[in-house]
Structure 1
Amino acid sequence: MGSVSKIVFLVSMLLTILVVLQFGKANSFLPTVYEHIINNMSNTVLGVHCKDKHHDAGFGRINFQEMYTFSLKPHPIVSVTLWFCRFTWNNDFQHFDIYVQKRDAKLCRDCTWFINSSGPCRIKGTSLDCFPWNPKVAIVY
């Protein structure tokens, strides 16, 4: 087998593997990420609805200190996975990108968030990493 034939063979094998990972059951090779969302607002029932472009984790209602959990699979090749949640309480609502693969992939596979009226805070080691809410825009659910 000549050197050009070996290169063509290797490139075709690599492309075959990439196609299988992209369109096959690639997600079975990736670790599942678990998102735990805790209502940290006393005397308030928190509505939670999380989804990405293709999946919907469903709506949940959680009382103070209760937890809503869903799982997701990050994209196997490109860091493009994005899950966002809509939070509703009393007469208010906010949105937050709860899982951004570029931001979160190396930080946690079992993420715990405390939801406060001022924004969500993620447990990071022994401290909290707090974030602002997304800007309010019209999102169709």
Structure 2
Amino acid sequence: MSPLLQRVVLLCVLTLLSVHNIHGVHDNSIDLFRTHVNVVNTLEDNLDLTLHCKSKDDDLGEHLLHQNDSFSWSFRPKWPIGTTLFFCSFAWTGEFHYFDIFIDGDTGRTDCDDCNWNVHKSGPCRIPDHGEPICFPWNKGIK
């Protein structure tokens, strides 16, 4: 195969990969371009947590998490880079908070393929593969 034909075939394959299923919630099949988010209820005082996460395109529903229970989802960040946002509400006895759990381009929140979060009363903490947890305050606004 000539070098020119090889480049054309490669360009076609890359184009197909970039436009096929580039956003949304998907099944659990292996995918190199997929981001996984896992949220664990680590609230103090053994409190239950009601979690509701959404993006502009996907509503993941409301989930009741008992102490140390988790909720996970996977998605492919939208193209072009920098446009994917997932936000969640967190409620427990007497408290209600919001947090933008995935913002494309925010390295503190998205410098991960497997983004693991622990939820505390003071706010969520991302647990990196190496190093200390990265903790955030709740979004300002509705309480």
TM normalised by structure 2 equals 0.74
Corresponding residue number in structure 2 for 1:135: 140
> What are structure 1's unaligned runs of at least 5 residues?
1-12
| Aligned twin of 1:31 | 33
1:43 shift after superposition: 1.6
For 2:126, the equivalent position in structure 1 comes to 122
C-alpha distance in structure 2 between counterparts of 1:106 and 1:135, whole Å = 20
Number of residue equivalences: 122
TM-score normalised according to structure 1 size: 0.75
SS, match of residue 105 in structure 2: helix
RMSD in angstroms over aligned alpha carbons? 2.7
- Kindly name which structure, 1 or 2, has the bigger radius of gyration based on alpha carbons: 1
d(CA) in 2 for partners of 1:106, 1:65:
23
CA distance in 1, matches of 2:69, 2:39: 8
Task: Name 2:70's counterpart in structure 1.
Answer: 67
How far apart are the structure 2 equivalents of 1:131 and 1:60? 22
Contact 1:26 1:76 in 2 (8 A): no
* Displacement of 1:106: 5.9
Q: Deviations over 1:69-92 (max 9, x none)?
A: 111220122311000000000021
1:49 to 39, 49, 52: 52
Query: Does the aligned pair in 2 maintain the 1:30–1:73 contact within 8 Å?
Result: no
**Which aligned segments of 4 or more residues in structure 1 are displaced greater than 2 angstroms?**
none
Q: Percent identity?
A: 32
